[in-house]
Amino acid sequence: MWRTWSGTQEARPRRIAAPSGTAAVAAAVRAAAEEGLRVRMVGSGHSFTGAAVTDGVLLSPTGLARLRGVDAEAGTVTVEAGMPLCDLNEELHARGLALANMGDIAVQTAAGAVQTGTHGTGRDCGGLAEQVVGMELVLADGSVVECSADRESALFEAARVGLGAFGVVTALTLRVEPAFLLRAREEPMRLEEVLERLPQLRAENDHFEFFWFPHTGRTNTKRNNRVQGPAEPLSPLRSWLDDEFLSNTVFEGVNRLGRRVPAAIPAINQVSARALSARTYTDASYRVFASPRRVRFVETEYAVPAEALPEVLAQIRRILDSGRHRIGFPIEVRFTPADRVWLSTAYGRDTAYVAAHVYRGMPYADYFRELEAVFTAAEGRPHWGKLHTRGRGDLSAAYPRFEEAMAVRDRVDPQRRFANAYLDAVLGA
Ligand SMILES: Cc1cc2nc3c(=O)[nH]c(=O)nc-3n(C[C@H](O)[C@H](O)[C@H](O)COP(=O)(O)OP(=O)(O)OC[C@H]3O[C@@H](n4cnc5c(N)ncnc54)[C@H](O)[C@@H]3O)c2cc1C
């Protein structure tokens, strides 16, 4: 049995294999085809949707986790698909390199993160898929293909955020930069003030985001900006106190209390929001972007046109004010510029991401359904790895290049060797 980090999905595959190279992946795909079994490679199981679930052959990524090479002149690195991002970060750092942008955590595999369109926040640089310049894939017939903007370009554009539907990714070539420092400034701010100053906060900062505490008008803002130095990391004690003890141990306790006494959640949120104090530190980029998240939750996230954000938040506030839900987890708001990746949630538009979380074991379906109606009315696109109920009909209308991507899928996987129930729902059977 395989299950996701959040416990939302389980798989009972016919068998599990851990191929240790591209040829072994190709052999596993061919063998599955001969037996009439479906195939999926999983990442670290950090999707909330059933994207990675299979009833056939589950390919584990553990044997595909090496750095293949660095092309200093081109400013790229090639990594095997199953390398965890945290290992990639260390490998890059040791060579004086870094990813330009990334999400909140770094335990996902490189391919797993890219395949669902994992993103952070940024004024100039978008999600991980936008940083991918080449991919090696094993297709349904067991053939190995390299693709990029100049080679098999339609396959490249469709399969970059491809949910594993186009083939098993065996390696990724990513654009990298010289290692850089980020100065992080975290500061509580009223939601009204954030919204009033939003254009300026977005324009003046390399990476701006905020966390809104439901049932309150309070947020915690984060501004990360590139600086020359010197590095001034948090002391080990402060780092442990804030990022481990308060953000995980105490936050877990607070959520347990809220689960036992939901009526107390608004008051708890007021205290939590006030307990935060401003802090500033400067550290290697990847240590600022990502931090440990040990408190388990379920999540939905939608990408909406950036200009729709104030109205979307106003509608969410109405839902929270209705008293129908008691939500202890902050709502996270991030931004990315438009990109050109066909199935990326930021395709063709300046994007705001709104993510809602609910502590494990608490009811979430009605809350997420109400939020989804708001996001859908704003022409939102659901994160492929986070809970939603949209199907192919809606998604085809939401993505201008959707049908072109599906034509590529018909060409490279006509028998749906890589399908599962989730892909049947979102891409069609
Ligand atoms: C605590 C937490 C924090 C998160 N933070 C963020 C965030 O900041 N930003 C954000 O955008 N998302 C975030 N996510 C979502 C997460 O980044 C995505 O769901 C991501 O896809 C998970 O990567 P994974 O390695 O666990 O892949 P999995 O969830 O295991 O797989 C994801 C998909 O990729 C496919 N896949 C994996 N490997 C391959 C391969 N080699 N070839 C083909 N297909 C493959 C799988 O079949 C599946 O369809 C977070 C999730 C959690 C639980």
Q: Are 299 and 356 in contact (CB under 8 A)?
A: yes
C-beta 54 within 6 A of ligand 1: no
H/E stretch holding 193: helix 191-204
Q: Are 116 and 174 in contact (CB under 8 A)?
A: no
- Note whether residue 387 is domain-resident: no
3-state SS, residue 186: strand
- Note whether residue 241 is domain-resident: yes
Q: What's phi and psi for 116, nearest 5 deg?
A: -105, 5
364/293 same-domain check: yes
Lowest mean pLDDT among 2-11, 222-231, 269-278, 342-351: 269-278
Percent of the chain with pLDDT over 90: 88
Query: What letter represents residue 30's amino acid?
Result: R
268/370 same-domain check: yes
162/191 same-domain check: no
161/107 same-domain check: yes
For residue 141, the model assigns a pLDDT of 97
- Note whether residue 394 is domain-resident: no
pLDDT at 84 over 90: yes
pLDDT at 246 over 90: no
Quick one: how many helices (H) and strands (E) in the chain?
14, 20
Q: Are 164 and 418 in contact (CB under 8 A)?
A: yes
Q: Which of 58, 79, 94 is the last residue of a domain?
A: 58
Mean predicted confidence (pLDDT) in 299-325? 97
- Note whether residue 416 is domain-resident: no
C-beta 105 within 6 A of ligand 1: yes
Nearest residue (CA) to ligand 1, atom 41 = 169
Which residue(s) pair with 352 in the sheet?
Answer: 304, 335
123/137 same-domain check: yes
pLDDT at 269 over 80: yes
352/247 same-domain check: yes
226/357 same-domain check: yes
Half-sphere exposure of 393 (CA within 13 A, CB side): 1
Q: Which of 147, 178, 209 is the last residue of a domain?
A: 178
**Confidence tier at 237 by pLDDT (50, 70, 90):** confident
- Note whether residue 377 is domain-resident: yes
pLDDT at 245 over 90: no
Q: How far apart are CA 360 and CA 107, in angstroms?
A: 20
For residue 239, the model assigns a pLDDT of 82
Nearest residue (CA) to ligand 1, atom 52 = 46
- Note whether residue 401 is domain-resident: no
- Note whether residue 412 is domain-resident: no
Both tokens assigned to 360:
């494990």
Q: What is the DSSP string of 119-142?
A: ----SS---GGGGEEEEEEE-TTS
> Of 124, 118, 123, which is closest to residue 102 (Cα–Cα)?
118
53/71 same-domain check: no
H/E stretch holding 392: helix 392-398
C-beta 22 within 6 A of ligand 1: no
pLDDT digits (tens, 9 = 90+) for 199-230: 999 999 999 999 999 999 999 999 999 999 89
Closest atom of ligand 1 to 422 CA is 49
pLDDT digits (tens, 9 = 90+) for 43-83: 999 999 999 999 999 999 999 999 999 998 999 999 999 99
**Confidence tier at 272 by pLDDT (50, 70, 90):** confident
CATH number of the structural domain spanning residue 363: 3.40.462.10
54/80 same-domain check: no
Mean predicted confidence (pLDDT) in 9-15? 96
CATH number of the structural domain spanning residue 69: 3.30.465.10
313/348 same-domain check: yes
**Confidence tier at 255 by pLDDT (50, 70, 90):** confident
Order of all β-strands in the sheet with 279-284: 279-284, 181-190, 218-227, 207-212, 331-336, 351-359, 297-305, 381-382
C-beta 344 within 6 A of ligand 1: no
For residue 202, the model assigns a pLDDT of 98
C-beta 111 within 6 A of ligand 1: yes
For residue 190, the model assigns a pLDDT of 96
Q: How far apart are CA 101 and CA 127, in angstroms?
A: 7
Q: Which of 178, 199, 216 is the last residue of a domain?
A: 178
Half-sphere exposure of 291 (CA within 13 A, CB side): 15
- Show the domain range for 44: 2-58
Asked whether the whole model's pTM tops 0.95, one would answer yes
Both tokens assigned to 416:
């749906």
- Note whether residue 37 is domain-resident: yes
248/166 same-domain check: no
Closest atom of ligand 1 to 40 CA is 47
C-beta 126 within 6 A of ligand 1: no
The total of structural domains in the chain comes to 3
28/70 same-domain check: no
**Confidence tier at 305 by pLDDT (50, 70, 90):** very high
pLDDT digits (tens, 9 = 90+) for 382-404: 999 999 999 999 999 999 999 99
Q: Which residue has the tokens 């046109």?
A: 305
Q: Which residues contact 240 (CB under 8 A, 6 or more apart)?
A: none
